[in-house]
């Protein structure tokens, strides 16, 4: 999904990369908290979070390597950028 949306515009790509960065930071915080608790029942969740982090990192690398989309190639770019940036979407 992120790779498809990122191809809409340079702004969409930047917002997708920012989203991934935020998710990676959240995952790191949760894994560190689980490690500090030192509870065996946290291991499956920690393992799953690390798997998500690896997938996000691969996606981030793909987004960084992606060629810049052509300006104005997608007429919906402004609406999609607004949605990614948290702006309300008009019907």
For the cut 80, the answer to whether the pLDDT of residue 86 exceeds it is no
pLDDT tens across 11-34, in order? 889 999 999 999 999 999 999 999
Query: Residue 89's pLDDT band (boundaries 50, 70, 90)?
Result: low
Is 72 within 8 Å of 78 (Cβ atoms)? no
Q: How far is residue 44's CA from residue 56's CA, in Å, rounded to a whole number?
A: 18
Backbone torsions φ then ψ of 59, nearest 5 degrees: -65, -40
Residue 65: the pLDDT is 94
pLDDT tens across 30-75, in order? 999 999 999 999 999 999 999 999 999 999 999 999 887 766 666 7
Q: How far is residue 81's CA from residue 90's CA, in Å, rounded to a whole number?
A: 13
Per the model's pLDDT, the better-predicted residue between 81 and 51 turns out to be 51
């Amino acid at each position: 999904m992120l790779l498809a949306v990122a191809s809409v515009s340079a702004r969409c790509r930047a917002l997708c990369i920012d989203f991934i960065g935020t998710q990676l930071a959240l995952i790191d915080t949760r894994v560190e908290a689980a490690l500090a608790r030192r509870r065996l029942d946290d291991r499956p969740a920690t393992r799953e979070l690390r798997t998500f982090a690896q997938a996000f990192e691969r996606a981030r690398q793909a987004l960084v390597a992606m060629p810049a989309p052509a300006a104005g190639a997608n007429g919906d770019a402004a609406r999609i950028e607004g949605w990614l940036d948290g702006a309300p979407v008009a019907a």
